[in-house]
Structure 1
Amino acid sequence: MPGTKAPEDAYTAEPFLPAGAGLDELRAAAAACRGCPLHRDATQTVFGTGHPHARVMLVGEQPGDQEDRQGRPFVGPAGKLLDRALAEAGIDPGEAYVTNAVKHFKFTRAEPRKRRIHKAPSLREMTACGPWLAAELALVEPELIVVLGATAGKALLGSAFRVGEVRGAVLEREIHGRPEKLVATVHPSSVLRARDDRERQAAYEGLVADLRVAARELA
């Protein structure tokens, strides 16, 4: 039943998912998820948002600092870059459903200003959060999933996933008992972390090229 208090060492969101729920009900239930310890430090759960029957679902890693504060995915600098890349590739960001493999922000504190620094989720945390992503996929039923980065790829395709090996190709896999088409690319935050303008531009162009593969598949 939703609201069930599960032991945190169980590492699963399953007890918090209401049976037969739609996206709005899932979003409300996810706000009370205690399926792993990440909820302790995060400001709030950041659930997916967008068109409820989108043809394309974009799956990232986890909320960042701004997403954690605002309660919506991809509203920070990486999200703005992603919207620009999607539009350039021919995909309307407003027609997509956007979510993350992990719904709480995982971070460490940096001294001396104690800024919150992103920390990658563990496989155990990804697995714990998996029921939420599975439920989103089942309800939205996208024609295509765009996998943004290694964490999202591992959450959907297993721990052996390597984004560099499959990026920019249309993959066909069975996920949660349903055949899916996927296109993998880098997470937009990796573009922002490039060392200089030249490297950043090359990374951005690579992201757009991968998204154009997704756009052609949707066309």
Structure 2
Amino acid sequence: MGKSEDPGEDKHGAPEVDPLQQPARLDACRRCALWHGATQAVPGAGPRHAPIMMVGEQPGDSEDRAGKPFVGPAGQLLDDALSEAGVKRTDVFVTNAVKHFKWEPRGKRRMHKTPAQREIAACRYWLEKELASVGPVVVVALGATALKAVLETRGTPLREVIGQVLEHDGRYVIPTWHPSFALRAPDRTTRERVYADIVQALQAAGQLARDAAGHRR
């Protein structure tokens, strides 16, 4: 098929997509069309054998520009919650279910848009690689999209399992709110409740990681 002047588009102007692609490098991924509108792919970051993995939804505007996960306001809230929970940042690998920023224009701003199920499924390829490489004891799923990606299901409503310790694929999974939900909450009471739930989830993850380390000794 011929190419247009944009190397990322075919001659009809549609983004290049190959759902069956098995790329070796994240920046070469064309498994869904989100690569076309993003500045760059954003891989996970952290120690390669961290006992805790935190999975968010997708990079935001700040992360898309920086090429690193959780460097914006949601990342700062998460750092605060980790500190309050007594979890060392060096024990945590952070990533997202979807590695490219999905957005829609609103004036001069790029506003977050929730990934579609096909985009979550396409990016499971990379999440599986991270899970295999890092080998976490516990995964903290931040928000509904992350929970779908981690459990590989559409049928587990986040609100029904907040803070519970689930098991999937030989590891613990703790669902909680995405930190951006706390930032967007319309009132102080909701913000404080959501933040407290995130801290509690991280405390539980930290305890599970410590227990697992103790059993290995």
> 2:196 aligned with 1:205, yes or no?
yes
CA distance in 1, matches of 2:33, 2:160: 32
> 2:62 aligned with 1:62, yes or no?
no
In structure 2, stretches of 5+ residues that fail to align are 1-14, 211-217
Q: 2:87 — aligned with what?
A: 91
Identity %: 49
- From 130, 143, 146, the equivalent of 1:152 is 146
The structural deviation recorded for 1:205 is 1.4
TM (norm. structure 1) is 0.85
Alignment of 1:1-219 (within 5 A): 8-12=16-20, 14-16=21-23, 18=24, 29-111=25-107, 114-157=108-151, 158-174=153-169, 179-219=170-210
Regions of 4+ moved over 3 Å: 7-10
The structural deviation recorded for 1:216 is 2.0
Contact 1:145 1:182 in 2 (8 A): yes
Change (3 A) 1:9 1:42: closer
Q: Matched residue of 2:189: which SS? A: helix
Q: Could you tell me which amino acid in structure 2 is paired with residue 11 of structure 1?
A: P
In structure 1, stretches of 5+ residues that fail to align are 1-6, 19-28
The structural deviation recorded for 1:169 is 1.4
Aligned length: 195
CA distance in 1, matches of 2:78, 2:105: 26
CA distance in 2, matches of 1:68, 1:57: 20
CA distance in 2, matches of 1:8, 1:128: 14
CA distance in 2, matches of 1:120, 1:48: 19
Structure of larger gyration radius:
2
